[in-house]
Amino acid sequence: MNPQKRIAIYGKGGIGKSSTASNVAAACADEGYNVMIIGCDPKSDSSITLLGGKRIPTILDLLREGMEIEKEDDVVFEGYKGVKCVEVGGPEPGIGCAGRGIIVAIQKLKKISESMKKMDLIIYDVPGDIVCGGFVAPIRKGLVNEAYVLTSGEYMPLYAANNICKGLSRINTKLSGVICNSRSVSREEEIVSKFANEIGSELVAFIPKEQIVQDCERDGYSVLEKAGDTDIAEVYRSLARNIMASDCAVDPRALTDERLRELTR
Amino acid sequence: MQQKNLSIMHPRPSSIVAALYTLRDLNVEVAILHGPPGCSFKHARLLEEDGIRVVTTALDENGFVFGGHDRLVDMLQKVEERFSPKRIGVVGTCVSMIIGEELHEAVMEANLDAPVIEVEVHAGYNDNTKGVLFALESALDVGIIDRQEFERQQHLLSEATNVEKKYGAASKEYLEPSRGDVKYTVAKRVIEMLKAGKKGICILNAKKETAYMFADITVALQEVAKKLGVEDNIVNFANLDTGLGLPRVRQHAEHILADMHDNVKIDEIIGGLDEYPIAGQQVRQLIESNYRDFDFAVIAGVPHAIPMEALEGMELISITNGPRQVHPLKDMGHEHVLVEIDLHPKTLGVTNIVESEFGATLRQLAREE
Ligand SMILES: Nc1ncnc2c1ncn2[C@@H]1O[C@H](COP(=O)(O)OP(=O)(O)O)[C@@H](O)[C@H]1O
Ligand code: SF4
Ligand SMILES: [Mg+2]
């Protein structure tokens, strides 16, 4: 058996982390892998498209109601092709401490979840910005062993991606690749590919911008489930295979801001 | 899923402090509190009387915002240089846990020779025994205790928590503190019963080092009974097994027994000094088979852990050190409840029995007879 892959996909907020994560999860499930997706964003929107548009109770919802969570069925739900879906959840925006929420929820999950050990792939879908200690809890607690960075060819997402590379080295986590989620800007693949090479990594997928992604999302499904015969579904499949096969993670070298601007010019 | 329990209004023991006391029992020489300078101040100070040093990383507002990793690494190194301890503990606090500090990372980075017990704990647990449990788990990880001892402790902790929930400080939404009955009046009643030829059981069921003072009541009662020529009417139970518990806890039992030596004979050993939550069962069996016809019982330490069925028909004189334990004991049916105020601080750092107020009162009254 191959060792378990435990990955996190980082990138600027709104860039497409959750939709990429859920489509990759679906593609891996199609290949017969045991997959779990753990949504760590207080918005708890990581698994909706794997669950036919339904929302599941989050770990923090239950804790808020004063429930003692004892079994994994309370918080782990099976979605598309048996993908195990978990949402951490969070406090109301502007109240309490979302970072602490992630720490508490992850500890709880680790304690009660038997099936976590049996997974081939666990995807942590994290919020856009690592704003405080809690948001790196999955990595710090040794739960994540590979990171991917998702970006488009625009300056701001690349800037965020570059910053994330700095952060990764601080928390001793290796980068397994850069994914480009296209916003249809000019020379995009070239720019992101160059960026990937210069930080010492490589571009592992170029996902085009397609209306179908949003249409499927609106109906509550992944592209793989609703539009499996499209070209973009094939892109997700190939990314999924790439992730499952990857074995060369690197310590990324972040670029200077000047170099980053040159790249995008 | 099960609903959580009632919310209690009065302040209760802290899990951080419980972790510190456990580290002391594990013979840790220096404990580092990773948190604000004033956290657990009073107990940190008391613990120094008991031979364990407590230092703090003293996180301030900046530490809250920017994290305290470097300070902790620094502190670990400073502690090693200054005190060369053989065993170190690092204890979390609300602050460091909320901001997601990883104690383990700092410990790895500091890379000291001495083993370090890391306790990720804050004060937000309803049962303060969580602090004990986390400390023991970590001690198990570094090989300071074995699995068998860990499981034994785990069982005792869950029993202790049950006792507190049923009959102790966690039994009601609010408990009024009380100084209990007047010691003079109760001492008079005890002497009256002794003089009337009544038979009494003296039960010492104390938690760890608190036994240094609670044991004085056993000694005093023995002296008084002897003086009145009725020493055969008293039997002594005590949780002073010297073969159970962590080394430090066994030592307390040895010290106390040595101090009692010829003056007091313990008729029945009802467990070790950490077995106060479960010794009640032993007491019940002993009474049922041998001491059914006794008239009164003097119970010191954790009287609420002795099942009431065991004590049926006896007049009960109970001595606790918790002002909030008075009302629950009265509710259970203990006729006389006494509080040894501020007992704990006086039992830290000692190796001999310490005089109790009730013991002193009994002796004084007997002298006046
Ligand atoms: N390749 C794509 N083509 C079209 N729309 C996309 C694509 N990837 C993501 N989106 C859309 O962009 C929006 C934000 O994506 P989301 O995955 O929620 O971002 P993040 O998780 O990074 O905040 C969603 O509505 C999603 O459907
Ligand atoms: S709130 Fe927590 S960290 Fe702060 S002083 Fe109290 S126990 Fe310590
Ligand atoms: Mg998202």
pLDDT digits (tens, 9 = 90+) for A181-193: 999 999 999 999 9
pLDDT digits (tens, 9 = 90+) for B119-158: 999 999 999 999 999 999 999 999 999 999 999 999 999 9
**Whole-number percent of chain A with pLDDT over 90:** 75
Cβ <8 Å between B3 and A68 = yes
> What ipTM goes with this model?
0.71
pLDDT digits (tens, 9 = 90+) for A54-80: 999 999 999 888 888 989 999 999 999
pLDDT over 80 (residue A141):
no
Question: How many residue pairs bridge chain A and chain B with CB atoms within 8 Å of each other?
Answer: 38
- Please tell me what DSSP assigns to residue A260: H
Q: Categorize the per-residue pLDDT at B88 as very low, low, confident or very high, splitting at 50, 70 and 90.
A: very high
Residue (of A47, A58, A114, A128) closest to A82 by Cα position:
A47
Hey, which of A19, A152, A231 would you mutate to test ligand 1's pocket, going by the most ligand atoms within 8 Å of its Cβ?
A19
- pLDDT value of residue B211: 98
More confident residue, A212 or B7: A212
Tell which B residues from 56 to 75 touch A, by Cβ distance under 8 Å: 67
Token output for B3: 């609903």
pLDDT over 70 (residue A260):
yes
pLDDT digits (tens, 9 = 90+) for B99-121: 989 999 999 999 999 999 999 99
- pLDDT value of residue A211: 97
pLDDT over 60 (residue B92):
yes
Q: Is the minimum CB–CB distance between B259 and chain A shorter than 8 Å?
A: no
pLDDT over 70 (residue B301):
yes
Shortest-distance ligand to the CA of residue A15: 1
pLDDT over 80 (residue A170):
no
Residue (of A164, A165, A101, A84) closest to A138 by Cα position:
A101
Cβ–ligand 1 contact at A210 (below 6 Å): yes
- pLDDT value of residue B221: 98
Distance in Å, CA A99 to ligand 1 centroid:
23
Distance in Å, CA B130 to ligand 3 centroid:
35
> Which chain A residue shows the shortest CA-CA distance from B7?
A66
- pLDDT value of residue B162: 95
Span A21-34, mean pLDDT? 97
Cβ <8 Å between B98 and A136 = no
Is residue A118 annotated as part of the catalytic site, yes or no?
no
pLDDT digits (tens, 9 = 90+) for A146-160: 999 999 999 999 999
Q: Which long-range contacts (CB under 8 A, 24 or more apart) does B155-164 make?
A: B155/B278, B156/B274, B156/B275, B156/B277, B156/B278, B157/B129, B157/B132, B157/B133, B158/B129, B159/B277, B159/B278, B160/B129, B160/B276, B160/B277, B161/B127, B161/B129, B162/B277, B163/B277, B163/B302, B163/B304, B163/B305, B164/B127
pLDDT over 80 (residue B258):
yes
The CA distance from A67 to the nearest CA of chain B, in Å, is 5
- pLDDT value of residue A43: 84
Asked if residue B217 lies in contact with residue B225, where contact means CB atoms within 8 angstroms, the answer is no
Cβ <8 Å between A62 and B98 = no
Q: Is the minimum CB–CB distance between B143 and chain A shorter than 8 Å?
A: no
The CA distance from A102 to the nearest CA of chain B, in Å, is 10
Q: Is the minimum CB–CB distance between B102 and chain A shorter than 8 Å?
A: yes
Average pLDDT taken over every residue of chain B: 96
> Chain A residues contacting B, CB < 8 Å?
62, 66-71, 74, 97, 99-100, 103, 132-134, 136-137, 140
Q: Categorize the per-residue pLDDT at A244 as very low, low, confident or very high, splitting at 50, 70 and 90.
A: very high
Chain A contacts of B134, Cβ < 8 Å? Answer: none
- pLDDT value of residue B369: 83
